[in-house]
A = this chain, B = another copy of it.
Amino acid sequence: MKVADTAGGEIGARLRAQGQAARAAAAGMARAPTKVKNDALEMAAGRLEAQTPRLLEVNAADVEAARAAGLDEAALDRLTLTQSRIAQMAAGLREVARLPDPVGEITGMTSRPSGIRVGRMRVPLGVIAIIYESRPNVTADAASLCLKAGNACILRGGSESLRSNQAIADVLQAALQEAGLPKGAVTLVDTTDRAAVMELLQMNDVIDLLIPRGGKGLVELVGRHARMPVLKHLHGVCHVYIDDRADAAKAMAIAINAKTQRYGTCNTMETLLVAKSRAAELLPPLAEAYGRHGVELRGCALTCALVPSALPAAQADWETEYLAPILSIRVVDGIEEALAHIARYGSRHTDAIVTEDWGAAQTFLREVDASSVMVNASTRFADGYEYGLGAEIGISTDKFHARGPVGLEGLTTQKFIVWGDGHIRG
């Protein structure tokens, strides 16, 4: 992604005004009672449903323009709203309304020798900016999570979806106003000028957190230029390691599920590691199963010797997120070599071991540096809903603040609170 320097001039001034409005709205959102936030989300759901014909009409204009501009079919599909997708958006808003409100929770309140009591109170982050691709449903999904966690948000969707996003943002703003909340709590960057992105990345005086949701190019650009904290997910090169003492049936089930249950998701296994002692027994039947699913195999020399259908893997295969029915396979001496491979080639997203050995499981859990580490479970479980977070704004492969699937709690922070009764420091 190539962008100009910051926008300056008119766009810059408009964005800064929008930022100030968001900052002011954030104070109102932080104060908002749970019921009022839930009411706004319910009202937004009702309004989305009621305005379905208008949303479809506006979206059709976006799709038509994008098709004329030559957008590919997969992207056109993501851009397209249908009656059922709008119903899903509305259902999503109602689900978020039903989630527990994280704001105000007080934890760890303890009495200190000085007599003061100290604990932490969970509070909203403030203003969250989200940069995403041309998927209009993200407008409602992302905004609803930010709002429920008591934040204001600034949304910057892909340029092809501008009309659709604006229509959805209008619905959200109307619902906020109806509930008595500041409409500045959800605003859309209303220009497709890419310099606006650079401008946003500099606005660390008003934006507390930036979440890029998009391709690697966007995420890297944001990581390089953002002056505020960023919550991001670069890519998912997930591993399953079948250990010496793996149960054969569990190993087969997990290795097949982690690859074939869905191909295009970030928690899909991209590399299978197999302990040498189990390779001759497990690789041929696994290869047969992958063959039935149409998965192309790329293996190390030992793998290719055991699996005639496998192509030789190149160095690049170990670091590639295929997002496709392709799997790289490597035979390793044992857990130490598996850990070294994951440390070198993994993306710190999700890695799993299949083993019945207590010590190996503990070693793997402790030593793999990833946002999710699993024993005897498919990497496909790495997901906010599966983990019970109730929602997911994304999966963070950063180590800071929120790591792994991020739900409402990741959109909040904590402050220390101190209760005294006239206490002074001696």
Partner of A419, one of B27, B110, B229, B377: B377
Partner of A380, one of B30, B31, B229, B424: B424
Partner of A413, one of B223, B399, B415: B399
Taking the complex as formed, is A382 at the interface, i.e. its CB lies under 8 A from any CB of chain B? Answer: yes
Closest to A420 in B: B377
A295-307 vs B, CB cutoff 8 Å, 1 = contact: the mask equals 0000000000000
A395-418 vs B, CB cutoff 8 Å, 1 = contact: the mask equals 000111101110000000111111
Taking the complex as formed, is A276 at the interface, i.e. its CB lies under 8 A from any CB of chain B? Answer: no
Taking the complex as formed, is A337 at the interface, i.e. its CB lies under 8 A from any CB of chain B? Answer: no
Contact B380 A416 (CB under 8 A): no
Q: Which of A39-47, A81-89, A117-125 contacts B (4 or more CB under 8 A)?
A: A117-125
Collect the chain B residues with CB atoms within 8 Å of residue A114's CB. Answer: 381, 386
Distance, CA A8 to CA B367, complexed state (A):
34
Q: Given A365-B121, A399-B126, is A422 in contact with B250 using a C-beta cutoff of 8 Å?
A: yes
Contact B112 A417 (CB under 8 A): no
Contact B423 A377 (CB under 8 A): yes
Taking the complex as formed, is A327 at the interface, i.e. its CB lies under 8 A from any CB of chain B? Answer: no
CB under 8 Å from chain B, chain A span 131-146: none
Contact A247 B422 (CB under 8 A): yes
Taking the complex as formed, is A201 at the interface, i.e. its CB lies under 8 A from any CB of chain B? Answer: no
Collect the chain B residues with CB atoms within 8 Å of residue A343's CB. Answer: 27
Partner of A112, one of B352, B387, B415: B387
Distance, CA A366 to CA B381, complexed state (A):
36
Collect the chain B residues with CB atoms within 8 Å of residue A386's CB. Answer: 112, 114, 116, 118, 425
Partner of A399, one of B208, B404, B424: B208
Collect the chain B residues with CB atoms within 8 Å of residue A287's CB. Answer: none
Q: Smallest CB–CB gap between A259 and chain B, Å?
A: 11
Closest to A26 in B: B369
Closest to A389 in B: B118
Taking the complex as formed, is A376 at the interface, i.e. its CB lies under 8 A from any CB of chain B? Answer: yes
Taking the complex as formed, is A169 at the interface, i.e. its CB lies under 8 A from any CB of chain B? Answer: no
Copy count, this protein chain: 2
Closest to A104 in B: B366
Closest to A121 in B: B365
Contact A413 B417 (CB under 8 A): no
Q: Given A365-B121, A405-B416, is A377 in contact with B254 using a C-beta cutoff of 8 Å?
A: no
Q: Smallest CB–CB gap between A116 and chain B, Å?
A: 5
Partner of A403, one of B223, B369, B415: B415
Collect the chain B residues with CB atoms within 8 Å of residue A399's CB. Answer: 125-126, 208-209, 229, 413
Distance, CA A366 to CA B415, complexed state (A):
10
Distance, CA A365 to CA B261, complexed state (A):
48
Collect the chain B residues with CB atoms within 8 Å of residue A250's CB. Answer: 421-422
Contact B421 A376 (CB under 8 A): yes
Collect the chain B residues with CB atoms within 8 Å of residue A377's CB. Answer: 116, 418-420, 422-424
Collect the chain B residues with CB atoms within 8 Å of residue A227's CB. Answer: 223-224
Q: Given A208-B399, A387-B416, A418-B372, is A424 in contact with B110 using a C-beta cutoff of 8 Å?
A: no
Distance, CA A30 to CA B376, complexed state (A):
23
Query: What are 27 A-B contacts defined by CB distance under 8 Å?
Result: A30-B366, A116-B377, A121-B366, A125-B399, A126-B399, A249-B422, A250-B422, A253-B422, A254-B422, A257-B425, A261-B424, A365-B417, A371-B415, A371-B416, A372-B418, A373-B417, A374-B420, A375-B420, A377-B418, A377-B420, A377-B424, A378-B423, A382-B416, A386-B425, A400-B401, A404-B415, A404-B416
* A residues lining the B interface (CB < 8 Å): 27, 30-31, 104, 110, 112, 114, 116, 118, 121, 123, 125-126, 204, 208-209, 223-224, 227, 229, 247, 249-250, 253-254, 256-258, 261, 343, 352, 354, 365-367, 369-378, 380-382, 386-388, 398-401, 403-405, 413-425
Q: Give me the 3 closest cross-chain CB pairs, A-B, nearest first.
A: A377-B420, A250-B422, A257-B424
